[in-house]
Amino acid sequence: MGRGFSLRLEIVSIPQSGFIACKDSDRMPLPLRLLRFFLTIFLRLSMALVPLCTLFFISFFVTLYSSMKVVLLNGSPHRQGKVAQLLMAMQEEAERQGMQTRLIQVSDLKVQPCCGCMQCRSLRRCVLPVDDAQQVLQALKEADALVIGAPCYWANMPGSLKVLFDRLVYGLMDDSAGRLPRPLHRGKRALLVVTASTPYPFNFLFDQTSGTLRSLRAVLKWSGFRVVGQLVRSGTKVHPQLRERDLAAARQIVGRLKRRFVWF
């Protein structure tokens, strides 16, 4: 017979830290020490995963039963133009999916141009008389997602839309501390809709729609919005009527606005 050993194992307690306190009168064999090590790791992981799993299920049900708020900005002066038609198709699809929507016609707003005083950066408010810019900013604060529609004007967005963004800068990003701008809408999603009379591929080769997209993306980037999709309709001079596939593409892209999870 080989040499044996005696072992007396006494489990004292299992404290909140997850460690198992034990007393052994003789030297514990390696297999038992490994067993105790893995059991301790298992208990620790179990206690750590309980709150994470709870948070996961809470976030899942909040996302499932909460309604998203989506703001759609029509930067075109035409209320029934191609940009408007695409936005209305997206609005109908968003409402069909249970989202709350608000379509804002930028050309109807009374917004005084920015005077460049820079006081809003430190005061965190605009010093100009209150107009429709403040109403749009409040709508953006309450929104979960943003859709911007704009025709291409000189490889850029229309002037009325640019004036609106100029007036909203203090509510889109914060650089009052003198450091790099801090986005105030981080985590929100955005879609872009751009039209141009220049046909494809010259709308990109001549930097027309690409210039408009670049300007809009710059505003959204420093505001914290994440662009999850874009829809470009070129050649509107030769083909002024929207095709069914254009409207179908507008409806399909709306699904990218959906939140996956809500983390608190």
In the sheet with 189-195, reading across from the earlier edge strand, the strands are 100-105, 69-74, 145-151, 189-195, 226-233
Which of 129, 123, 78 has the alpha carbon at shortest distance from 105? 78
At 63 the pLDDT is 53
- From residue 235, alpha-carbon distances to 10, 39, 158, 216 in Å are 82, 67, 18, 20
Q: Which amino acid is at 163?
A: V
Which of 85-89, 112-116, 179-183 comes out lowest in average pLDDT?
179-183
- From residue 62, alpha-carbon distances to 56, 66, 68, 227 in Å are 10, 6, 11, 23
pLDDT, tens digit (0-9, with 9 covering 90-100), for 126-146:
999 999 999 999 999 999 999
13 vs 87, higher pLDDT: 87
31 vs 264, higher pLDDT: 31
At 12 the pLDDT is 47
- Per-residue burial over 115-149, b = 16 or more CB atoms within 10 Å of its CB, e = otherwise: eeeeebbeeeebebeeebbbebbeebeebbbbbbb
At 179 the pLDDT is 73
- Does the reported pTM lie above 0.85? no
At 59 the pLDDT is 60
Per the CB < 8 A criterion, the answer to whether 68 and 145 are in contact is yes
246: buried, middle or exposed (CB in 10 Å: 19+, 13-18, 0-12)? middle
**In the chain, what are the helix, strand and coil shares in percent, each to the nearest 5?**
45, 20, 40
Strands 226-233 and 189-195: parallel
How far apart CA 206 and CA 209 sit, in angstroms, is 9
Which of 159, 144, 173 has the alpha carbon at shortest distance from 215? 159
At 74 the pLDDT is 98
How far apart CA 74 and CA 161 sit, in angstroms, is 9
How far apart CA 95 and CA 20 sit, in angstroms, is 55
Answer whether residue 123 shows pLDDT above 80.
yes
Per the CB < 8 A criterion, the answer to whether 165 and 219 are in contact is yes
Helices marked H in the chain — which ranges?
30-65, 82-96, 119-123, 132-142, 159-167, 169-172, 202-205, 209-223, 244-253
pLDDT, tens digit (0-9, with 9 covering 90-100), for 197-212:
999 888 888 889 999 9
pLDDT band at 244 (very low <50, low <70, confident <90, very high): very high
Residue 195 neighbours by CB distance under 10 Å: 25
Per-residue tokens: 45: 């992981």
Query: Which helix (H) or strand (E) element contains residue 100?
Result: strand 100-105
